[in-house]
């Protein structure tokens, strides 16, 4: 399993990234309702990922890759974040805060507002981001249309407002967004087509206390947007020339000022949306890759914390049942499955109960982590792990190991995406 089995805390030293959460992409009944709402309104959830400029490894090439990695023949290049050894350690509060995020649901969700004129391609790109980066897509327009279809008392008012291309009162939209976020077991949200005006923005911030990470803004000329909407053909009541023109005016008068506001805070990421769907997505992808790197590092930290605290259920949840490993304990052999690792968790528990000691915890420190993404569904995390072992016979001893951990994003039986640890390589680090 790669490490000590006694009770411990994980000190997250030597890193520049501040991790947020592990993306487990669970689809709750609420998100399924939203999907249903989408199909009712005929909105596209289309598009498999283009893969952008990265190589996407098939299952077969993945095995080859593992063989190379295992043989020490693989060099990790490409995007990474470097971390200076000895950089500041997380404070106790931050560590506790991160520990609280182990359940993936935090009070501090990651929100990206997706703005752009009507027909600029917001919904199309959001579907691709969901596919590749696992965000939950909340379209304010879809939520409002679902509210009409639900027979709510506000239904007629919302329907008339949409027909006129006007903006629905902020409290109605914010309430729908907040409810959808609360019902969704995720921490990563794309909020599409909102805030539509300054009041929307102020009410959302006031009610939820959430500041967006950034604003993804699709910039597209009116004639192109008009052409796209007129050929959208999804039976939307507002996709007619008269309402389209009104929507363009509302966009210019009310939504552009919101974008301008965020410009002043440096949060706008403007994308030229005139190109093809895949070309636009290629421009979008770099904005999301670091979230995946962040999540993979956090998943690794959670795994190590599980090892150090002897928490086998966490280890089992994060690891693929057929996890493969090269580690000193396996005497140079490739071991497969979790049983080999479970032995050490059981041993730790037995030793602790027989000795009855409750001494200080084993402490792991990750030094110089690097996260390399292989397409959008796989990634490799490498680092040196220092483990301070408080108990005898090696009391006060620090061990140093180089670890390479491979993660793959997979769909579970419920069809939900989750990161699974599929292989690791651990060897003693040369000491200085
Ligand atoms: N880059 C693109 N090139 C050509 N057509 C596109 C592109 N992006 C989206 N489309 C098409 O244009 C239409 C509008 O796209 P989409 O529904 O994603 O826009 P939107 O910004 O979400 O619109 P709205 O604000 O009205 O909901 C759809 O039919 C979609 O397939
Ligand atoms: O925050 C919002 C979002 C949307 N509306 C109304 O819905 C329609 C359609 O929105 P799309 O984003 O194009 O699906 C929009 O024209 C508004 O009338 C809103 O009021 N507030």
According to the per-residue pLDDT averaged within each range, which of 53-62, 293-302, 384-393 is highest? 293-302
Residue 165 CB–ligand 1 contact under 6 Å: no
**Distance between CA atoms of 7 and 413, rounded to whole angstroms?**
32
Please, which pLDDT band fits residue 389 given cuts at 50, 70 and 90?
confident
243 Cα nearest atom in ligand 2:
16
Q: Mean of the pLDDT values across residues 41-63?
A: 28
Residue with tokens 């000795």: 355
Q: Mean of the pLDDT values across residues 134-146?
A: 96
pLDDT (tens digit, 9 = 90+) per residue, 275-307? 999 999 999 999 999 999 999 999 999 999 999
Comparison of pLDDT for 8 and 263, the residue scoring more = 263
Q: Whose CA is closest to atom 7 on ligand 2?
A: 141
Q: Whose CA is closest to atom 16 on ligand 2?
A: 165
Comparison of pLDDT for 429 and 85, the residue scoring more = 429
* The two structure tokens encoding residue 171: 């409290």
Q: Give the model's pLDDT for residue 392.
A: 64
Q: Mean of the pLDDT values across residues 170-179?
A: 98
Closest listed residue to residue 419, CA positions, set 430, 408, 405, 429: 408
Answer whether residue 386 shows pLDDT above 70: yes
Residue 165 CB–ligand 2 contact under 6 Å: yes
Ligand 2 mean position to 282 CA, how many Å? 26
Q: Mean of the pLDDT values across residues 8-35?
A: 28
Answer whether residue 353 shows pLDDT above 60: yes
pLDDT (tens digit, 9 = 90+) per residue, 217-265? 999 999 999 999 999 999 999 999 999 999 999 999 999 999 999 999 9
Comparison of pLDDT for 282 and 389, the residue scoring more = 282
133-155 burial, b at 16+ Cβ within 10 Å, e below that, comes to: bbbbbbbbbbbbbbbbeeeeebe
Residue 124 CB–ligand 1 contact under 6 Å: yes
Residue 310 CB–ligand 1 contact under 6 Å: no
Q: Give the model's pLDDT for residue 351.
A: 85
Answer whether residue 139 shows pLDDT above 50: yes
Please, which pLDDT band fits residue 187 given cuts at 50, 70 and 90?
confident
* The two structure tokens encoding residue 99: 């520990």
pLDDT (tens digit, 9 = 90+) per residue, 322-349? 999 999 999 999 999 999 999 999 998 8
Q: How many CA atoms lie within 13 A of 292 on its CB side?
A: 30
Answer whether residue 7 shows pLDDT above 50: no
Whose atoms come closest to the Cα of 232: which ligand?
1
Answer whether residue 23 shows pLDDT above 70: no
Please, which pLDDT band fits residue 44 given cuts at 50, 70 and 90?
very low
Please, which pLDDT band fits residue 357 given cuts at 50, 70 and 90?
low
Q: Give the model's pLDDT for residue 21.
A: 25
164 Cα nearest atom in ligand 2:
18
pTM of the model: 0.73
Phi, psi values for residue 401, rounded to 5°: -130, 145
Q: Give the model's pLDDT for residue 216.
A: 98
pLDDT (tens digit, 9 = 90+) per residue, 60-78? 332 333 333 333 332 222 2
**Distance between CA atoms of 92 and 314, rounded to whole angstroms?**
21
Per-residue DSSP letters for 377-426? Answer: SEEEEEEEEEEEE-STTSTTEEEEEEEEEEEEEEE-TTS-EEEEEEEEEE
Choosing from 117, 163, 168, 248 the residue with most ligand 2 atoms within 8 A of its CB, the one to mutate for a pocket test is 168
Q: Give the model's pLDDT for residue 2.
A: 55
Q: Give the model's pLDDT for residue 362.
A: 85
Answer whether residue 43 shows pLDDT above 60: no
Residue 41 CB–ligand 1 contact under 6 Å: no
Whose atoms come closest to the Cα of 44: which ligand?
1
The per-residue pLDDT of the chain, averaged, comes to 78
According to the per-residue pLDDT averaged within each range, which of 10-14, 35-39, 366-370 is highest? 366-370
Q: Give the model's pLDDT for residue 414.
A: 75
Q: At what angle do helices 155-163 and 140-149 cross, to 10 degrees?
A: 130
Q: Give the model's pLDDT for residue 96.
A: 33
Q: Mean of the pLDDT values across residues 162-189?
A: 95
Comparison of pLDDT for 426 and 394, the residue scoring more = 426
């Amino acid at each position: 399993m790669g490490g000590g089995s006694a009770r411990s805390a994980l000190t997250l030293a030597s890193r520049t990234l501040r991790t947020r959460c592990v993306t487990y992409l669970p689809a709750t009944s609420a998100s399924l309702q939203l999907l249903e709402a989408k199909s009712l309104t005929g909105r596209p959830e289309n598009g498999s990922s283009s893969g952008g400029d990265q190589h996407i490894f098939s299952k077969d090439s993945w095995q080859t890759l593992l063989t190379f990695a295992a043989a020490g023949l693989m060099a990790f290049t490409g995007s990474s974040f470097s971390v200076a050894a000895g950089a500041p350690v997380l404070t106790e509060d931050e560590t506790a805060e991160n520990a609280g995020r182990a359940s993936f649901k935090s009070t501090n969700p990651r929100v990206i507002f997706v703005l752009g004129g009507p027909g600029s391609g917001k919904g199309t790109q959001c579907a691709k981001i969901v596919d590749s980066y696992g965000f939950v897509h909340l379209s304010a327009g879809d939520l409002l249309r679902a509210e009409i279809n639900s027979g709510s008392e506000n239904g007629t008012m919302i329907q008339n407002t949409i027909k006129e291309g006007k903006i629905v009162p902020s409290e109605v939209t914010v309430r729908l967004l907040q409810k959808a976020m609360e019902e969704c077991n995720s921490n990563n949200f794309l909020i599409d087509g909102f805030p539509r005006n300054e009041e929307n923005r102020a009410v959302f911030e006031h009610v939820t206390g959430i500041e967006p990470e950034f604003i993804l803004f699709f910039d597209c000329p009116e004639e192109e947007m008009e052409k796209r909407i007129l050929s959208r053909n999804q039976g939307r009541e507002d996709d007619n020339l008269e309402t389209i023109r009104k929507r363009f005016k509302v966009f210019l008068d009310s939504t552009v000022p919101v974008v301008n506001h965020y410009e002043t805070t440096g949060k706008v990421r403007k994308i030229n949306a005139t190109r093809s769907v895949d070309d636009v997505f290629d421009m979008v992808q770099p904005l999301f890759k670091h979230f995946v790197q962040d999540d993979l590092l956090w998943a690794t930290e959670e795994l190590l914390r599980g090892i150090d605290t002897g928490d086998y259920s966490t280890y089992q949840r994060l690891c693929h049942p057929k996890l493969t490993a090269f580690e000193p304990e396996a005497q140079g052999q490739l071991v497969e499955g979790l049983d080999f690792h479970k032995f050490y968790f059981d041993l730790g528990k037995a030793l602790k109960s027989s000795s009855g000691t409750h001494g200080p915890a084993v402490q792991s420190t990750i030094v110089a982590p690097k996260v390399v993404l292989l397409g959008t569904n796989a990634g490799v995390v490498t680092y040196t792990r220092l483990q301070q072992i408080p108990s005898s016979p090696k009391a006060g001893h620090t061990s140093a190991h180089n670890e390479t951990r491979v993660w793959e994003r997979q769909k579970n039986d419920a069809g939900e995406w989750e990161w699974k640890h599929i292989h690791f390589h651990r060897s003693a680090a040369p000491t200085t």
